[in-house]
Amino acid sequence: MASAYRGWLTVAGGVLIHLTLGTLYTFGNLSPYLTSYIRKHSSPDLQYTDSVWIFAVTGMGQGTSMYFGGVLERRFGPRITVIIGAWFMSLGVLLTYFTVQYSFEAAVVTYGLMFGLGIGVAYAVPIACGMRWLPKKKGLVSGCVVAGFGAGAFIFDQVQTAFINPDNKAPNETIAGEKYFSQEDVLERVPTIFLLLGGCYAAMQLLGVFAPFKSSSRLLQDTSSPGDSKHSNDHTEDTASVGSNSDNDSGISSRTIQDEETESMPPQRMLKTRAFYTLWFIMLLNGQGVVFISSLYKAYGQTFIRNDSYMAWVGAFAAVCNGGGRIIWGAVADRFSFKVAMLCMSCTFTSLMLTFGLTKLGAEAMFFIWVCLLFFGFSGTYSLLPTATARAFGPKYYSMNYGIVFTSQIISNATGALLTSQLKDQIGWFGLFYMVAGFSFMTESIHRKTTVTATKVIIQFNMSQFPAQPMMMYPQVPMPATVVMMPDSRVWPPKMMNIAAHEKSGDDLDNKKTVAIDEKSKTTISVTESTQTRQDLIPGASGAAVGITGAVGMNTATYNPYGPYYQYCYQYKNY
Residue 263 has what pLDDT? 58
Other CB atoms within a 10 A radius of the CB of residue 354 amount to: 17
pTM of the model: 0.64
Distance (Å, whole) CA 28 – CA 315: 8
- What is the distance between the alpha carbons of residues 103 and 293, in angstroms, rounded to a whole number? 25
Which of the residues in the chain have pLDDT under 70?
1-2, 212-263, 445-575
Residues 6+ apart with CB under 8 A from 75: none
- The answer to whether 525 touches 485, Cβ cutoff 8 Å, is yes
How many whole angstroms from its chain centre is CA 553?
A: 28
Helix (H, G, I), strand (E, B) or coil at 225: coil
CA–CA distance from 204 to each of 217, 384, 476, 560 (Å)?
Answer: 27, 26, 58, 60
CA pair distance 520, 68, nearest whole angstrom: 45
Element (H, E) at 256: strand 256-258
Other C-beta atoms lying within 10 Å of the C-beta of residue 227: 11
Whole-number Å distance between alpha carbons of 442 and 40: 40
For residue 52, give every residue at least 6 positions away whose Cβ sits within 8 Å of its Cβ, in sequence order, or none. Answer: 291, 292, 295, 296, 416, 417, 420, 421
Nearest by Cα to 570 from 545, 544, 552: 552
Residue type, 120: G
SS3 223: helix
Closest to 536 measured CA to CA, from 545, 523, 524, 527: 545
pLDDT at res. 570: 33
For 426, residues 6+ apart whose C-beta sits below 8 A from its C-beta are none
Cα atoms in the Cβ-side hemisphere of radius 13 Å centred on 323:
25
User: What would the 3-class secondary structure string for 37-106 be?
Assistant: HHHHHCCCCCCHHHHHHHHHHHHHHHHHHHHHHHHHHHHHCHHHHHHHHHHHHHHHHHHHHHHCCCCHHH
d(CA 294, CA 299): 10
Residue 224: other Cβ atoms inside 10 A: 16
The domains located in the chain, with CATH, are 2-214+265-447 (1.20.1250.20), 450-575 (no CATH)
Predicted local confidence at residue 4, as pLDDT: 76
| CA dist., res. 513 & res. 556, Å (int) | 11
Contacts of 28 (CB under 8 A, 6+ apart): 55, 293, 294, 295, 296, 297, 298, 299, 315
DSSP codes joined into one string, 375-441: HHHHHTHHHHHHHHHHHHH-STTHHHHHHHHTTHHHHHHHHHHHHHHHHHHHHHHHHHHHHHHHHHH
